[in-house]
Structures are given as structure tokens and as C-alpha cells.
Structure 1
Amino acid sequence: MHPAPSVILFTTLSGLGFGLLAFLGLGKPAVTGWVAFVFYAIAFGFAVGGLLASTFHLGRPERAWRAFTQWKTSWLSREGICAVSALIVMGLFAFGAVFLDTHWWVLGWIGAALSLATVFTTSMIYTQLKTIPRWNMSLTPVMFLSFSLAGGSLLAGAEALAPWLLAIAGSVQLAYWAKGDQAFASSGTNIGTATGLGDRGTVRAFEPPHTGSNYLLREFVHVVGRKHAQKLRVIAFALGFALPLICLILPVEGLMAKHLLAGIAVLLHIAGIAVSRWLFFAQAEHVVGLYYGKR
């Protein structure tokens, strides 16, 4: 698929924001006052910024509110409900921490659960699509959640948890790439099954359905060169997981040096996740590409 900047920003920023909100709801760190204000400002900034970015991919952004009405059948609707609920609950929790120097832990736990539920529902928007085999597998929600927790732990300054969560998220990323590369072939979908003519012998396209471009080609057919993709994977893994992990485990003296390395780790991780998200969309082979000889 052609990766739109809006969905890359959405999946990158919202995952980080809701990951940090989940940690704050669990009291990691249990901050109050102006320190809490800074943490919550960052968390809400990422979460809300990502959600707003997602609306720019809609044909009619002003109608986004209608998505809330289809919660029985739509993962997009469930995502919207979970996101708004998480922001409201964590907003109340933040109010207590910032202005009253207190923590209403029941609200925090509920908000943390809703924040992770938001990330899960986001992942299911893509996981449910059988027409894109690379997304239609159980590792997709695992990847979204592991990325969110790893990024949230970095932003929360959870020194004990962050290295482990980064290692787990990096392992999930490698597993996702390995399994995703085989997903289209394993799905059993080919031009024969797509046309319904496979039982008559080998099917091949005589010529493309038409000579001009169309919506399907613009949105759902995007071919990334193998060498190009491999280079981007190395960059994504190095920036998103390997280098941040090194920054966290380096033996340094002084609080200032530790904070500096932690800040660098956060920036590297965000850059790496953005590259990973670009690949997530760019390498998503839609089965409609079979009709155009692209698969």
C-alpha cells in the first residue's frame, strides 16, 4: 500500500502516547505537581496528536464522528470509543496528580487498561483485513502492543523495564518481518483463485485491465524493492531498538549524562518506529495487485 504520512504519524505517535499514559496510570512514575504536568502534557500531546493526524487520511474528516456509531461491527469505531474513554479517565487522573497532589489509583488502573485497549483496537483495524496477508496474522497486535509498551517505558523513564521491553519489541519486529515475508504465499491466494479460473489450469494475465491509473493502484499497489526494504529494516531495527538499548545499558556516571542518553534513546526510538511504520504500510501486499501483475 502507498504509505500516507498521516497514518504513519498516527500509528507512531498514538502508540507512544497511550503507552506513556498506561505507565502513568500504573504509577510509573508516580509524579505529582508540575513534574506530573510535563509527563501528562507529553503523553496527551502524542496521543491526541496521533489521533488528529489520522483524520487527515479521511475523505471527509468532518464526518469522523460517525465512526463512533458502528461499534458493534467496526474496529475503527471501537478504537475511537476506547481512545476517548482513555483520554477522559486519564484526564481526571492527571487532574488529581497535577492540581491536588493525589492519585486516584482506581481511575489510573482503568485508564491504563483503556490506553492499552486503544492500541489493541488500532492494531485490529489492520489485522482483520484478509485481503492483506502480511497484516492478517496474530503477530500484528503483538507488535503494536510491544512497541507501545517499549516506547511508553522509555518516555516514563522506567529504567528497569525499558531495556527488557525494548528487547522484546525488537524480537517481535524481527519475527513479524520473517513471518510477513511468507504471508502472501502462505495465504494460497494467486491469480487463479482471484479470478476463479484456477481449476482450469495455469492462469496468467494477458495484459493489464486498463492502461491508466486508478484509485486501487494509487492506494493499494505499492512495490518496494527488496534491497531497499532490507536497508530500511536495518535502519528501523538499529534506530528503534538496538541503539536505544545500548544507550540505556551504557555504564555512565552522573545524573546529567544518564538523562542525556535517555533523551537520545527516546529520539532514536521514535525515528526507528517511524521507519518501521513506513515499511508496515509500504510492504502490505493487497491481493488486488494480482489483477495488475504486481504480485
Structure 2
Amino acid sequence: MHPAFSVILFTTASGAGYGLLLWFALCSLAAPDWIDRPLALTTLLFGLALVSAGLGSSTLHLGRPERAWRALSQWRTSWLSREGVAAIAAYVPAGLLALAWIVWPRPGGVAILPALLMIPAALATTYCTAMIYASLKTVRQWRNRFTVPNYYALGLFTGALLFAAILRLFGRETVAVDIAVLVVGAATLALKLAYWRSIEGRGASTAESATGLGGFGTVRLFEAPHTEENYLMREMGFSIARKHAAKLRRLCLAALFGAPLLLTLIALLAGGWIAGFAAVLAVISAGAGVLVERWLFFAEATHVVTLFYGARAA
């Protein structure tokens, strides 16, 4: 599949934004003494900015972006529509939480309900985003039991890295958050490796299986359906060489997992300005790594329509 940058930005920025908002909500419920007004507003506004940037970029991939609002009416049948509805609904608890911190230096019990609502709102929106891809039977790499868990894990991991960096920049020594980053990062790495193993050619459709003529021998394309490249060939027929995919996977592992986890461990052990510097570097590295991971998520996906254009497997 063609890895459009607008969709890559959508899935990475919104995932990190919802992850950040979720971690802030959990922290405000479990350890409100860690948080003051500047920290709260910085975290909430940054999380909402990421979510808004992601959602805004998603409309750029539409043929008529000005009609994006119409997609909201199809929530009964479309995961894309459900994602839009859930995303708009998630602004309510996030906005109320920000308002509470604007009005009161320490909102206390006033912030409890919005924080409680923020958690399921972030989880529901992330689930809908993942199901946009996991619901497609025509793309076996997405119709996969690891797709939804990977979306959750990546959002939680990148959100935790952002939250740890913000806490460090505000002078908070938060061992618990660093430990959460390490645990969630290790789980995300395990899920990513399991996903890559699961898509390695197993269960692929072929021209023989698609036509049911495999018993007669090899099925070959007699005549191309088009003489020139068309939309389907550009969007669905994108392919990446195995050797390039392997290199990008190694880059992803190093940038998204290796460096951030090592830098988080350094921050945990060192403390002080070194911890803050390491936390910021971890966010930068993970940001680059998750862009590579999302690019691969689309580039390695194969649509069954490509069999009609001569592909051997999809």
C-alpha cells in the first residue's frame, strides 16, 4: 500500500497524543501531588495539539477534504466515521480537565470526573483508529490479531516517553513513570516483533487461491487490465523490496526501542539535568522510529486487488 505521509502523521501524532492524555489522567488520579498548574496545562495542551494535528492531517488524504464532516454520519457501518465521532467526543473530557486547571490552581476533586472520562475516551478513539485497518479483509497484514494491540502499545509507549520528558523538564524525579516507560516499551517491542513474524507470507492469497484454479497448475495473467498506471496501481500496488524492509526494520528497532529504552534507563539512574537531556533525546529518537514503523506498516501491506494486475501473492 502507498504510505501517504498524511496518514502516517495521523496515526503517529494522534496515537502519541492520546497516550499522553491517558498517562496524564492516570497520574492526576493516582498521584495528584506531582502535578501543578503549569505542568498540567503544558501536558494537556501538547496532547491536544498532537491529537488535533493528527486528525487534521488525516483529512489531507481525502479526495475532497472540505467534505470530511460528512464521514461522521456513517458511524453505524464505518470505523473511520466512528473514529471521527470518538475523537470529537474525547475533546470534551480533555477540555474540561484543562478548564479545571485554568480556573483552580489545584482543582482536586473537580478534576476527577474529567480524568476518569479521559481514559476510556482515549482508549476508544485509539481502538477505532486501529480498526480502520484491522477490519479490512482484503489486506492480510492489517487483518491481523496484533494490529489493535500494536496501536494501543505504540500510543501508550510514545505517550509515556512524552510524559516522562515533560515531567523531567519541570523538575520532577518520577521513578514510577520511568519504570512504566521501560515496561510498556518492552511489551511494545515484543508485540512489534510478533506482528512482523505473523505477516511473513503465511496465509497469503495467490492467483491460484483467488480463482480456485490452482488444481490445474499455475495461473498466469493473460492480458493486463490497463495499458497505463491507474489509481489502484498507485495506491494498492506499492511494494518494497525485502532487503529494504529488513534494513528499515532494524532502523525502527534501534530508533523506536533501543535508544529510547537505553536513554530512559540512563535517566532513571542518573537523575538531574542528565535525566532531562536523556528524556528529550528519547522522545526525538522514538519520534523518528515510529515514523519508520508506520511507513513500514503501510508499505509492507498488500491488497488482494494486486493479484488482478499480475502480483504473485497478496
Q: TM-score range by the shorter chain?
A: over 0.9
Whether contact under 8 Å (1:240, 1:273) holds in the other structure is: yes
**Aligned to 2:118, which of 107, 111, 130?**
111
Moved more, 197-206 or 65-74: 197-206
Whether contact under 8 Å (1:32, 1:102) holds in the other structure is: no
Q: Deviations over 1:118-155 (max 9, x none)?
A: 11110000001111000001100000000011111111
Moved more, 206-215 or 50-59: 206-215
Q: Which residue of 1 aligns with 2:168?
A: none
**Aligned to 2:194, which of 175, 179, 192?**
175
State the TM-score, normalized to the length of structure 2: 0.89
Q: Deviations over 1:237-265 (max 9, x none)?
A: 11001110000112653411101100100
Q: Deviations over 1:64-103 (max 9, x none)?
A: 1111111111111111111111112111012112331214
Q: How does 1:1-295 map to 2 (within 5 A)?
A: 1-27=1-27, 30=32, 31-100=35-104, 101-103=106-108, 104-157=111-164, 158-182=177-201, 185-187=202-204, 189-195=205-211, 197-198=213-214, 200-250=216-266, 252-294=269-311, 295=313
Unaligned stretches of 5+ residues in structure 1: none
Deviation at 1:198, TM superposition (A): 4.2
CA distance in 2, matches of 1:201, 1:154: 53
CA distance in 1, matches of 2:18, 2:181: 16
- Identity %, equivalent residues: 41
Deviation at 1:47, TM superposition (A): 0.7
CA distance in 2, matches of 1:159, 1:252: 10
Whether contact under 8 Å (1:149, 1:165) holds in the other structure is: yes
Which amino acid in 1 is paired with 2:129? Answer: T
CA distance in 2, matches of 1:130, 1:256: 49
Moved more, 114-123 or 99-108: 99-108
Taking only aligned residues, the RMSD between alpha carbons, in angstroms, comes to: 1.6
CA distance in 1, matches of 2:95, 2:246: 41
Whether contact under 8 Å (1:21, 1:40) holds in the other structure is: yes
Unaligned stretches of 5+ residues in structure 2: 165-176
State the TM-score, normalized to the length of structure 1: 0.94
Which amino acid in 1 is paired with 2:134? Answer: T
CA distance in 2, matches of 1:252, 1:199: 63
Deviation at 1:199, TM superposition (A): 5.6
Which amino acid in 2 is paired with 1:172? Answer: L
CA distance in 1, matches of 2:214, 2:74: 37
Whether contact under 8 Å (2:178, 2:265) holds in the other structure is: no
SS in structure 1 of the partner of residue 107 of structure 2: coil
SS in structure 1 of the partner of residue 88 of structure 2: helix
Which amino acid in 1 is paired with 2:187? Answer: I
CA distance in 1, matches of 2:271, 2:193: 34
Whether contact under 8 Å (1:127, 1:135) holds in the other structure is: yes
